[in-house]
Amino acid sequence: MAYCSKDDILMMMPQAELAALTAESGDIPDPEVVAEAINKAGAEIDSYLQVRYSLPLSPTPGLIKSLGVDLAIYHLYSRRSVMPPVRRQNYEAAVAFLKAVAAGQAGLVEVGGEPSVEVSGAGRLFSRDELKDW
């Protein structure tokens, strides 16, 4: 499943850079190449998350969208011979996090609802009224 979009990628890099990575000529990004990278990223995310979550994740958590962007950008750069160190580091960090999720060492915020907290305990021993003379 595609967990990010071309617009999400364009938030992290200028269009000219995306075009240089995808188009053989011209300054417009090739939508098929971008879609292929996004699909690779989604498949990679799913391969790690399938052991702990029901897939596809819907709606997509923001963290997964961010990881999808990092993975897709890495796959786009892998088409060329030059890989900026920051792109490789982002990819490696994303994969490390996904491995931690698969191993149960990290998790995602539950999808589809607001987190809630419930506190229970014994009743109060002393109230303000009982302690007003102290």
Q: Does 120 have pLDDT greater than 70? A: no
pLDDT of 127 above 80: no
Alpha carbon distance 100, 67 (integer Å): 13
Q: Tens of pLDDT along 63-112?
A: 999 999 999 999 999 998 889 999 999 999 999 999 999 998 988 865 45
DSSP count for the chain of H helices, then E strands: 5, 0
